[in-house]
Structure 1
Amino acid sequence: MSDLPSAAEMEEIAGAAAPPSPDVTLCECFPEDGLRGAAAAVPTDAKIALIADLVACGLRSVAATAFEPPDASPAFADAEILLRGLARPPGIAIRAGCADPLAVRRALVAQDGGWGPEELALAVPQDEDWTGFEAMVALARGRFLLTGIVEARFDRADENASGAVVQAAERLATLGVTRIAIADGAGAATPPRVRDLIGWLNGALPTATFIARFTDHRGLAMANSLAAVEAGITALDCALGGAGGLCATEDLAAALVAMGHGTGLDLAALCRSGEAAEAMLGRRLDSRVLRGGAIPA
């Protein structure tokens, strides 16, 4: 009698090891972007509980914290304590932001301790000096999943704006960073320009994974995010209630489902997490779904 598992048992094991991949993956950024400007300190235990709830909603990627100096970013003074306290179900990537080589070294110490993040987000410099960025990549390469965040200057009308994004993406690829988030910090993107830029990027780097990261300063984050998905993007950064200026997770998830895209998310549970985020910040957030309910099927 063989001790090897049967085909049916192997299928069950594989199914239990990690959730199935959704059509569109949302990375929840509330614990980082949403709490960055919080008026009061949020207890670490409350953050840990919220992240556990987010994972239970079906989110596979969570930007949990950032390695930044405590005096400059008090919201992340507990980064190591938070990471130690997080449960790590299979198939879940916990992301942390890193702004300099010292931050990457902190992430390495955490990883060596067995409680580090699986993914690091590294902001690409907007000037020509890539020295610090290349040092971060050299430290982290082979140890973490790396995502480079490129700021796309949609607020510039000249044709060189898209070319600069493509050039930055190509330089990332030469460094071995092929997960590339396209950010619109000014909220100046429009759906046509988003589709055009993604077309250029897919043509230049067909094997890279691109992530859309749009802010809602001009009310176009949802339209731009959906345009990105229509152009082939399958990963999006967002935040509960639109905290931190990003596209609201609840609204984006509801819209994607209404359009027939699988997200792997429990929308009702996600909305409960949105309510918890509002309580955590002590103010009402901008999710339309929280106010008006999900889009009828």
Structure 2
Amino acid sequence: MSRVRAKPLHGDKTVTQPRRAVVREVGLRDGLQSISTVLPTARKKEWIRDAHAAGQREIEVGSFVPARLLPQLADTAELVAYAKTLPGLVVSVLVPNLRGAESAIDAQADVMLVPLSASHAHSLANLRRTPDEVVAEVAKMRALRDAAGSKTLIEGGVGTAFGCTLQGEVAAVEVLRCMQALLDAGADRVSLADTVGYANPAAVLRLFEQARAIAGERLCCGHFHDTRGLALANVYAALQTGVDRFDATLAGIGGCPHAPGASGNAASEDLAFLLEDMGIATGIDLHRLLALRHKVAAWLQGEVLHGTLWRAGLPKTFAPTA
């Protein structure tokens, strides 16, 4: 994507800012898996359809995990099939293991995201595997994908990149080692996630600069939780390093089972507004996205929702970026 000059956050270093950015909606997976409500498949399809109509072009529709573990996501294959009928939509799924990758390839998902926690303790608690065992699994996924002649991209998502509620500090050198290992194992691209909301803008700038130096354009996405209200500030910091794709959940739903009280990612509507108001085009119609938020909020009555734009509304000075 083309870039424009932006003022540096520190020192005299010249930085660039994307002209366009992608808000990847992950509420149907990261959001729904973390709440008690089991949304009917018809409602999920309506969500996908309305998000697409609002201009969102990348949606993570679910995860290929056993239904007994996450009944909220048992309809992922059906949702992939439906989402694939919408023009120009990049359909992502999360896969925790080789069996999940097989399902993603069979469903012809465009992207399968493989989570790896740089925190050893969190990795064992969340996936029952060490980080290096996850890397070995990615190598098997790559071999499977290539043998099948599939075009599904493999994205390795390095989580707990800024700290962990179980382990505490996670060294940047370990985060970068895991990221490089994923690329060496055959991941097409990688992303960094502040799984438990420990990041701050200065830390994001440092780590993303280091990661970009190693992975270049293959560092494709930032995933920030808003646990302490810093998700959008952290997005801004990552933007300065040239990253132009960010995960978000409508109404900020979701969280992490190992971060009690943690809210979900940045709210999709708030993030889209931030980007558009800064002159970074997203292709999203905010009026339509806010209407969808209102609808989803009605479906999820009793669940904790987040975000601020829905309450304040768009300012009179707001003009979408062309």
The TM-score range, normalised by the shorter chain, is: 0.7 to 0.9
SS at match of 2:266: coil
Q: Over residues 243-265 of structure 1, what are the superposed CA-to-partner deviations in whole Å (9 max), with x where a residue is unaligned?
A: 11111011111111111111111
CA drift of 1:194 comes to: 0.3
For the aligned residue pairs, the C-alpha RMSD in angstroms reads 2.2
Q: Which moved more, 1:198-207 or 1:54-63?
A: 198-207
Contact 2:220 2:245 in 1 (8 A): yes
Which of the numbers 221, 225, 233 marks the counterpart of 1:215? 225
Matched with 1:138 is 143
CA drift of 1:160 comes to: 7.0
Matched with 1:262 is 281
Q: Counterparts of 1:38 and 1:150 in 2: how far apart (Å)?
A: 23
Q: Counterparts of 2:45 and 2:287 in 1: how far apart (Å)?
A: 20
CA drift of 1:43 comes to: 1.0
Q: Counterparts of 1:163 and 1:131 in 2: how far apart (Å)?
A: 19
Contact 1:38 1:281 in 2 (8 A): no
SS at match of 1:40: coil
Q: Which moved more, 1:48-57 or 1:88-97?
A: 88-97
CA drift of 1:294 comes to: 2.2
2:31 corresponds to 1:34 = yes
2:112 corresponds to 1:120 = yes
Q: Counterparts of 2:183 and 2:66 in 1: how far apart (Å)?
A: 29
Contact 1:27 1:60 in 2 (8 A): yes
Going from structure 1 to structure 2, the CA distance change for 1:105 and 1:160 (only over 3 Å counts) comes to: closer
Contact 2:139 2:186 in 1 (8 A): no
Matched with 1:168 is 178
TM-score normalized by structure 1?
0.85
Q: Counterparts of 1:123 and 1:249 in 2: how far apart (Å)?
A: 21
CA drift of 1:138 comes to: 2.3
Matched with 2:85 is 88
SS at match of 1:205: helix
Q: Counterparts of 1:66 and 1:153 in 2: how far apart (Å)?
A: 21
AA aligned to 1:75 is Q
Going from structure 1 to structure 2, the CA distance change for 1:158 and 1:231 (only over 3 Å counts) comes to: farther
Contact 1:154 1:184 in 2 (8 A): yes
Contact 1:148 1:181 in 2 (8 A): yes
SS at match of 2:113: strand
AA aligned to 1:223 is A
Q: Which moved more, 1:127-136 or 1:184-193?
A: 127-136
AA aligned to 1:150 is V
Matched with 1:43 is 40
Matched with 1:196 is 206
Matched with 1:282 is 301
Matched with 2:261 is none
Matched with 1:251 is 270
Matched with 1:272 is 291
Matched with 1:60 is 57
2:244 corresponds to 1:234 = yes
SS at match of 2:20: coil
- Structure 1's unaligned 5+ residue stretches are 1-20, 112-116
Q: Which moved more, 1:179-188 or 1:161-170?
A: 161-170
Q: Which moved more, 1:270-279 or 1:175-184?
A: 175-184
Contact 2:157 2:193 in 1 (8 A): yes
Which of the numbers 202, 206, 229 marks the counterpart of 2:216? 206
Contact 1:151 1:184 in 2 (8 A): yes
- Structure 2's unaligned 5+ residue stretches are 1-17, 119-129, 255-263
AA aligned to 1:247 is A
Q: Which moved more, 1:161-170 or 1:66-75?
A: 161-170
CA drift of 1:219 comes to: 1.3
Question: Size of the alignment, in residue pairs?
Answer: 272
Going from structure 1 to structure 2, the CA distance change for 1:22 and 1:84 (only over 3 Å counts) comes to: farther
Q: Over residues 41-69 of structure 1, what are the superposed CA-to-partner deviations in whole Å (9 max), with x where a residue is unaligned?
A: 21101100110111111111000011010
Contact 1:124 1:133 in 2 (8 A): no
The sequence identity of aligned pairs, in percent, is 29
Going from structure 1 to structure 2, the CA distance change for 1:152 and 1:37 (only over 3 Å counts) comes to: closer
Q: Counterparts of 2:197 and 2:61 in 1: how far apart (Å)?
A: 23
Contact 1:240 1:249 in 2 (8 A): yes
